[in-house]
Amino acid sequence: MTHMRPATTTTTPDVTAIRDVGIIGAGQMGTGIAQVFAQAGFNVHLLDMAEDRLSAAMGTITKGLGRLAEKGKISESDKWDALARIRVGVAYDLLADCDLVIEAASENEQVKRAIFAQLCPVLKPEAHIASNTSSISITRLGASTDRPTKFMGMHFMNPVPVMQLVELIRGIATDETAFALVREVVLKLGKSPVSSEDFPAFIVNRVLLPMINEAVYTLYEGVGSVESIDTALRLGANHPMGPLQLADFIGLDTCLAIMQVLHEGLADSKYRPCPLLVKYVEAGWLGRKTGRGFYDYAGPAPVPTR
């Protein structure tokens, strides 16, 4: 029987120990994470292997901060100060002075392990590492680094600048001091941390992704159309968007990857990915980011594809 970790009484760690934060991956998640750290006063080092993704990320962050300034949520000088705190690059030595590095690459364990193999040799010994993985074992990822005691999960929600929650996940080796320090960092960002044990997909995706997968089965079995399923959940369960619309927003490849982690990690047939989800991913119909998923995004308004 698995027992929850007992609460421990510790002094509040000194969050000023974290000044420079590295982010690996300038995709949708990494870009959002970079923006919220820069806004909160941290020096940000954003790494990606592709120069064009870094340019796109800076464009997105500039627009995001610009919208906040227009709405009066930050001042124009706050916007420029935040942008000035972001450095970008394609070489790992960009992260040499970082106190905390957050990996935000694609949801693929081998990709993440390869990143940590390149990251660890350039990091200073006292630096902490976190993964933004939405489902993969933190214990296993931490064991692939040279500092499992300073490694943990830090799962932001999408879109990062808007969503308040950050799931914090300890690996079996994660030191309580490291966990408490990262929790204080999350609070400094103005976000709300919740602690999860290290089980496949943690809390949010353990509950959310099977719902999305069941919605895809409902479509696959002809119980309802894309439009009827999404309308039913929006109006019948008061969800802000339907599950198939949400799947397109998350990315169908990410949805499939998380369902595969659940299915393999828990060995329960209830987590079997729907064959229709597999087919869409095989077709390259990954949702909004490719212009087609359960909806076609080519026109002025999304059109259901089934």
Of 43, 45, 103, 155, the catalytic one is 155
Sole residue written with tokens 């993704």: 53
**What whole-number distance in Å separates Cα of residue 152 and Cα of residue 168?**
7
**What whole-number distance in Å separates Cα of residue 284 and Cα of residue 274?**
16
Of 131, 132, 137, 205, the catalytic one is 205
Three-state SS sequence of 247-258: HHHHCHHHHHHH
Of 103, 167, 196, 213, the catalytic one is 167
3 is catalytic: no
The domains of the chain are located at: 17-196, 205-294
Domains 17-196 and 205-294 share a fold: no
155 is catalytic: yes
pLDDT tens for each residue of 137-185: 999 999 999 999 999 999 999 999 999 999 999 999 999 999 999 999 9
Of 131, 132, 134, 213, the catalytic one is 134
Q: What fold characterizes domain 17-196?
A: Rossmann fold (3.40.50)
Give the model's pLDDT for residue 9: 47
CATH number at 205-294: 1.10.1040.10
pLDDT tens for each residue of 87-143: 999 999 999 999 999 999 988 999 999 999 999 999 999 999 999 999 899 999 999
Whole-model pTM? 0.88
205 is catalytic: yes
CA atoms within 13 A on the CB side of 203: 16
Strand segments (E) across the chain: 20-24, 43-47, 86-89, 100-103, 128-131, 151-156, 165-170, 192-196, 295-296, 303-304
128 is catalytic: no
The angle subtended at Cα 259 by Cα 4 and Cα 24, nearest 5°, is 80
**What whole-number distance in Å separates Cα of residue 26 and Cα of residue 221?**
37
Neighbours of 82 (CB within 10 A): 26
